[in-house]
């Protein structure tokens, strides 16, 4: 029974991971994906963006991506964020600022300002960044 050492170690690791997750889930911290997707739909993001990997299909009106000057720039699918966003020093803070029109992406502000609470915005940004990191693995 020399193998039990390995198994024992794995179990201990799993147990400590479980504990870590439980602690991480305590009050404010852990990003809530279900909530983020709800906010995404409720706050009209889905007018222009899809999140196809997370069950939110392509937006119905592609023309919604037209800006004030009438220039068309297709809104990207937000299942994952672009390298331009992910290379920011703090992608979560950047996405939050960008959606508050306080930061620019590729020299431009986002078309729509986020109208929800900052907690909603932060959670949504965290989920988007987390999902992008998962996909990159
Ligand atoms: C009127 C259409 C429209 C709406 C509504 C809209 N967006 Fe956008 N969004 C765009 C367009 C167009 C771009 C691409 C801008 C660019 O690349 O310069 C963009 C870019 C982004 C990006 C950067 C994506 C990347 O990885 O480069 C994020 C994040 C984003 N939007 C989030 C949101 C969220 C969250 C909402 C809802 C609160 C939302 N958007 C609502 C049109 C829209």
**Is residue 67 located within the same domain as residue 106?**
yes
**Is residue 62 located within the same domain as residue 121?**
yes
pLDDT computed for residue 128 by the predictor: 98
- Ligand 1 binding pocket (C-beta < 6 A) is 43-45, 47-49, 64-65, 73, 75-76, 78, 81-82, 84-85, 95, 99, 105-106, 108, 110-112, 114, 124
**Is residue 130 located within the same domain as residue 110?**
yes
pLDDT computed for residue 10 by the predictor: 54
**Is residue 48 located within the same domain as residue 110?**
yes
Cα 120 to middle of ligand 1, angstroms: 16
Give me the number of domains the chain comprises. 2
Give CA separation, 108 vs 88, 91, 103, in Å: 15, 17, 8
* Sign of the alpha-carbon torsion through 96, 98, 103, 105: positive
**Is residue 49 located within the same domain as residue 116?**
yes
Identify the CATH number of the domain in which residue 131 sits. 1.10.760.10
**Is residue 57 located within the same domain as residue 11?**
no
Range of the domain at 94: 31-136
Instruction: Determine the 3-state secondary structure of 66 from DSSP.
Output: strand
Q: Tens digit of pLDDT per residue, the chain (137 long)?
A: 555 555 555 555 555 555 555 555 445 567 999 999 999 999 999 999 999 999 999 886 654 445 555 555 689 999 999 999 999 999 999 999 999 999 999 999 999 999 999 999 999 999 999 999 998 87
Residue owning the nearest CA to atom 24 of ligand 1:
81
Which tokens belong to 72? 């068309």
pLDDT computed for residue 47 by the predictor: 92
How far apart CA 129 and CA 3 sit, in angstroms, is 39
**Is residue 122 located within the same domain as residue 132?**
yes
pLDDT computed for residue 136 by the predictor: 83
pLDDT computed for residue 22 by the predictor: 53
pLDDT computed for residue 17 by the predictor: 53
**Is residue 81 located within the same domain as residue 107?**
yes
pLDDT computed for residue 108 by the predictor: 95
Closest by CA to 73, choosing from 65, 61, 64, is 65
pLDDT computed for residue 64 by the predictor: 46
């Amino acid at each position: 029974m020399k193998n039990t050492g390995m198994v024992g170690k794995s179990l201990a690791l799993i147990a400590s991971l479980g504990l870590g997750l439980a602690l991480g889930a305590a009050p404010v911290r852990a990003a809530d994906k279900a909530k983020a997707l709800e906010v995404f739909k409720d706050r009209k993001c889905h007018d222009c963006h899809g999140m196809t990997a997370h069950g939110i299909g392509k937006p119905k009106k592609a023309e919604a991506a037209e800006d004030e000057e009438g220039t068309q720039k297709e809104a990207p699918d937000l299942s994952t964020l672009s390298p331009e966003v992910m290379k920011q020093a703090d992608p979560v803070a950047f996405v939050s600022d960008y959606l508050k029109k306080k930061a620019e992406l590729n020299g431009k502000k986002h078309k729509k300002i986020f109208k929800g609470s900052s907690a909603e915005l932060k959670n949504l940004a965290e989920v988007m960044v987390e999902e992008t990191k998962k996909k990159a693995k």
